[in-house]
Structure 1
Amino acid sequence: MNFENLLIAIEETHVKLNRKAISQVNYYNTIRNWLIGYFIIEFEQYGEDRATYGNAVLKNLAGKLIHIKGMSMTN
Structure 2
Amino acid sequence: MMRMCEAAGVVVSAYSPDFSPIEEFFGELKNYIRSRVHDDWELIKADFKLFLEECVKAVGSRKKSARGHFKNALISIEEP
TM-score range, shorter chain: 0.3 to 0.5
TM-score scaled by length of structure 1: 0.35
TM-score scaled by length of structure 2: 0.34
Q: State which structure, 1 or 2, has the greater radius of gyration over its C-alpha atoms.
A: 1
Q: Which structure's relative contact order is higher, taking Cα pairs within 8 Å and 6+ residues apart?
A: 2
